[in-house]
C-alpha cells in the first residue's frame, strides 16, 4: 500500500496551523502531532515480551504459502461490463529451495520460473457489473457462481468447508454440531442438513451449501467489489486448511510438524465469515489439545499494527525479540479506540497479534493461533498459549527477503505467482502427499 509521505501535506498542515481562526487546543495538538518528526513515544504497556533463540533447531522442512490476487477485467468495448478475476494459490516449497533462492540473487529466471510453478491455483470469476444472465435474478446468479466456485472442477473446496462445518476431524460418527440458517427465499430459520443441496422445509426453495455462508444475499451492484473480495478471502481460508484436512483424513497429522503454513494477511474472515471461523477455531483447538503441531502464521504487511510496529524498532533490538500485546493494548494504543473487556466480542479471528524482529533489518507483524480461541483468543495472550511460536519464528527468520522492506521470501514468490496469468494447476499438493505416503510406507 502506498502512502503520500512527501512534504506537501506537512506544508498544508503548517499553513492551517498558522491560520488565526484555529485556536482550538485539541485541533492544534492534532496538527502539531502530524508535523512532528521526533520519534514516537513508547506507549505504556509496550515491553519486549521475550526472545526466541534462533540458533535452536526446528523440524520444519516444507513451507506452504496461501495467497490471493484479484484483477478487475472490463470488456474493452463496453467498459460498464466488468468481472473480477480471482486467483488463490497454494505454493509449496522446501526450506532448502528457499535457501537456494535467497542465496542466489542473480538466479537464472528460468530456474526461478521452475520454483514459481510449484503452486496449485484456484481461479474464480465474480461478475461486477453489466453482466446479467437472462431469466436469472442477480441474487440467484451470484448463488450459482459461488456454488460452482466451491465445486469441482473449479476449486473443489467444498470438501474443506464440510470438514470444518461438520467436525470432520472427529470422524463420521461424531455428534453433529447444531447449525441453522435463514431461508434465502422466505427468511425463516431451519436446521442445516449435512448435504450440498437441500430444500427449505417451510417453502421448498432449493439451496446450495454455499448459501449458508451468507455472502450473496442482497448484493447490489455497488457492493459487488466487496463481494468479490469476500469470495477471495473465503477461498483463501479454505485453501489454508486443505493440507491439514488431507493429513487428518490420511491419519498423518504427525507430519504437520514438518510444515510451516503462511497466510498472506491476518488470521480472520470478516462479516458472515464467522460461520467458517467457528469451525476453524474448533479444529485448531482440537489439534493443540491433542498435542499436534500446527505451525500456522498470518503475516500482516499493511494495516494499523504493521505500521505501529515499525515505530518501535529500538524496543526489539535483537533478532528473535518479540512483543505479544494484550487485546486492550491493540484496541487502545494501536487502533485508538476505547476498550471495554465486558463488551469485547470477536467472531472473526483465530489468532493473536505479535510484533517480531526476524533479522537486523526485519520487523514484522504476525498473527498466531493460541491453544484456546474463544473470542479469537485470550485477552492477554501469553507465549505459553502459542505452542508453535518458537518453530514459526525460527523458520521465518531463515526466509527474510530484502525486497520489498520487511518481506518474507515465500510470500514474495506467492504474490508474483498468483498475479501471473492463469496456468493449469499442477496438483502440487497431491504430488506432495503421494511422496509423503511413499516415504512412510
Ligand atoms: Zn423458505
Kindly report, residue by residue over 6-18, the tens digit of the pLDDT.
334 445 555 555 5
- pLDDT value for 40: 73
Separation of 144 CA from ligand 1 center, angstroms? 17
Separation of 174 CA from ligand 1 center, angstroms? 28
| Average pLDDT for 126-138 | 77
* Cα radius of gyration rounded to whole Å, the chain: 24
Separation of 229 CA from ligand 1 center, angstroms? 28
Separation of 272 CA from ligand 1 center, angstroms? 20
- Of residues 220 and 224, more confidence is placed in 224
Separation of 189 CA from ligand 1 center, angstroms? 8
Separation of 178 CA from ligand 1 center, angstroms? 19
- pLDDT value for 124: 82
Separation of 347 CA from ligand 1 center, angstroms? 26
Separation of 254 CA from ligand 1 center, angstroms? 44
CA distances from 301 to 64, 126, 197 (A): 18, 26, 38
The tens digit of pLDDT for each residue in 346-374 reads 999 999 999 999 999 999 999 999 999 99
Separation of 208 CA from ligand 1 center, angstroms? 13
| Average pLDDT for 179-194 | 95
Separation of 223 CA from ligand 1 center, angstroms? 25
**Residue 393: partners with Cβ closer than 8 Å, 6 or more residues away:** 52, 54, 320, 322, 356, 358
Separation of 138 CA from ligand 1 center, angstroms? 18
- pLDDT value for 427: 64
Give whichever of 21-35, 134-148, 156-170, 218-232 has the largest mean pLDDT: 156-170
- pLDDT value for 55: 93
Distance between CA atoms of residues 240 and 220, nearest Å: 29
Exposure letters 261-298 (e unless 16+ CB within 10 A, then b):
bbbbbbbbbeebbbbbbbbbbbbbbebbeeebbbbbbb
Separation of 205 CA from ligand 1 center, angstroms? 5
Separation of 200 CA from ligand 1 center, angstroms? 5
Separation of 209 CA from ligand 1 center, angstroms? 14
Of 131, 146, 124, which Cα lies nearest the Cα of 216?
A: 146
| Average pLDDT for 136-152 | 86
Distance between CA atoms of residues 222 and 228, nearest Å: 11
Q: Is the pLDDT of residue 398 over 60?
A: yes
Q: Is the pLDDT of residue 1 over 50?
A: no
Task: pLDDT band for 221, please (50, 70, 90 cuts).
Answer: low
Separation of 182 CA from ligand 1 center, angstroms? 8
Separation of 186 CA from ligand 1 center, angstroms? 4
Q: Is the pLDDT of residue 402 over 80?
A: no
Separation of 435 CA from ligand 1 center, angstroms? 47
Separation of 203 CA from ligand 1 center, angstroms? 4
Separation of 47 CA from ligand 1 center, angstroms? 54
The tens digit of pLDDT for each residue in 66-90 reads 999 888 777 777 777 778 888 898 9
Give whichever of 307-311, 352-356, 399-403, 421-425 has the largest mean pLDDT: 352-356
| Average pLDDT for 308-324 | 93
Instruction: Tell me the three cell numbers of residue 91.
Output: 505454493
Separation of 213 CA from ligand 1 center, angstroms? 16
- pLDDT value for 10: 47
Separation of 199 CA from ligand 1 center, angstroms? 8
- Please, what is the average pLDDT of the chain? 85
Separation of 187 CA from ligand 1 center, angstroms? 6
Separation of 183 CA from ligand 1 center, angstroms? 5
| Average pLDDT for 52-66 | 93
Percent of the chain, pLDDT > 90? 49
- pLDDT value for 45: 84
Separation of 277 CA from ligand 1 center, angstroms? 25
Separation of 214 CA from ligand 1 center, angstroms? 15
Instruction: Tell me the three cell numbers of residue 307.
Output: 505500521
Distance between CA atoms of residues 403 and 394, nearest Å: 20
Helix residue ranges, H only, 273-313:
274-289, 304-310
Q: Is the pLDDT of residue 313 over 50?
A: yes
Separation of 193 CA from ligand 1 center, angstroms? 14
Phi, psi of 190 (to 5 degrees): -145, 160
Which of 35-39, 88-92, 338-342 is the least confident region? Answer: 35-39
Separation of 191 CA from ligand 1 center, angstroms? 12
Amino acid at each position: 500500500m502506498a502512502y503520500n509521505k512527501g512534504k506537501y501535506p506537512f506544508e498544508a498542515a503548517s499553513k492551517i496551523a498558522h491560520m488565526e481562526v484555529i485556536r482550538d487546543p485539541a485541533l492544534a495538538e492534532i496538527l502539531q502531532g502530524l508535523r512532528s518528526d521526533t520519534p514516537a513515544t513508547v506507549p505504556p504497556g509496550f515491553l519486549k515480551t521475550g526472545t526466541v533463540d534462533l540458533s535452536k533447531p526446528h523440524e520444519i522442512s516444507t513451507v506452504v504459502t496461501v495467497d490471493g490476487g484479484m484483477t478487475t477485467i472490463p470488456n474493452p468495448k463496453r467498459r460498464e461490463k466488468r468481472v473480477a478475476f480471482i486467483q488463490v494459490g497454494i505454493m509449496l516449497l522446501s526450506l532448502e529451495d528457499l535457501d537456494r533462492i535467497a542465496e542466489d540473487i542473480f538466479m537464472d529466471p528460468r530456474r526461478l520460473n521452475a520454483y514459481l510453478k510449484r503452486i496449485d491455483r484456484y481461479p474464480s470469476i465474480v461478475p461486477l457489473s453489466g453482466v446479467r444472465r437472462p431469466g436469472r435474478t442477480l441474487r440467484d446468479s451470484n448463488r450459482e457462481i459461488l456454488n460452482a466456485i466451491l465445486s469441482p472442477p473449479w476449486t473443489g473446496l467444498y470438501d474443506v468447508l464440510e470438514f470444518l462445518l461438520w467436525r470432520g476431524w472427529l470422524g463420521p460418527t461424531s455428534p453433529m454440531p447444531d447449525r441453522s440458517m435463514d431461508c434465502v427465499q422466505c427468511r425463516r430459520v431451519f436446521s442445516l442438513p449435512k448435504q450440498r443441496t437441500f430444500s427449505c422445509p417451510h417453502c421448498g426453495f432449493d439451496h446450495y451449501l454455499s448459501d449458508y455462508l451468507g455472502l450473496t444475499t442482497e448484493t447490489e451492484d455497488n457492493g459487488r467489489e466487496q463481494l468479490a473480495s469476500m469470495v477471495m478471502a473465503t477461498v483463501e481460508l479454505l485453501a489454508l486448511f486443505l493440507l491439514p484436512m488431507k493429513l487428518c483424513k490420511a491419519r498423518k497429522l504427525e507430519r504437520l510438524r514438518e510444515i510451516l503454513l503462511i497466510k498472506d494477511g491476518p488470521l480472520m474472515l470478516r462479516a458472515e465469515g464467522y460461520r467458517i471461523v467457528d469451525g476453524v477455531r474448533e479444529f485448531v483447538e482440537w489439534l493443540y489439545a491433542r498435542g499436534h503441531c500446527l505451525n500456522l502464521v498470518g503475516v500482516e504487511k499493511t494495516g494499523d499494527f504493521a505500521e505501529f510496529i515499525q515505530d518501535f524498532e529500538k524496543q526489539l533490538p535483537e533478532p528473535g525479540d518479540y512483543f505479544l500485546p494484550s487485546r486492550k493494548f491493540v484496541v487502545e494504543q494501536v487502533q485508538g479506540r476505547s476498550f471495554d473487556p465486558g463488551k469485547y466480542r470477536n467472531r472473526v479471528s483465530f489468532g493473536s497479534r505479535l510484533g517480531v524482529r526476524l533479522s537486523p533489518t526485519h520487523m514484522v507483524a504476525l498473527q498466531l493461533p493460541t491453544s484456546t480461541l474463544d473470542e479469537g483468543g485470550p485477552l492477554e495472550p501469553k507465549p505459553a498459549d502459542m505452542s508453535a511460536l518458537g518453530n514459526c519464528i525460527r523458520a521465518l527468520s531463515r526466509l527474510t527477503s530484502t525486497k520489498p522492506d520487511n518481506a518474507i521470501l515465500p510470500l514474495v514468490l506467492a504474490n508474483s505467482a498468483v498475479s501471473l496469468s492463469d496456468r493449469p494447476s499442477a496438483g502440487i499438493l497431491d504430488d506432495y502427499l503421494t511422496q509423503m505416503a511413499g516415504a512412510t510406507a
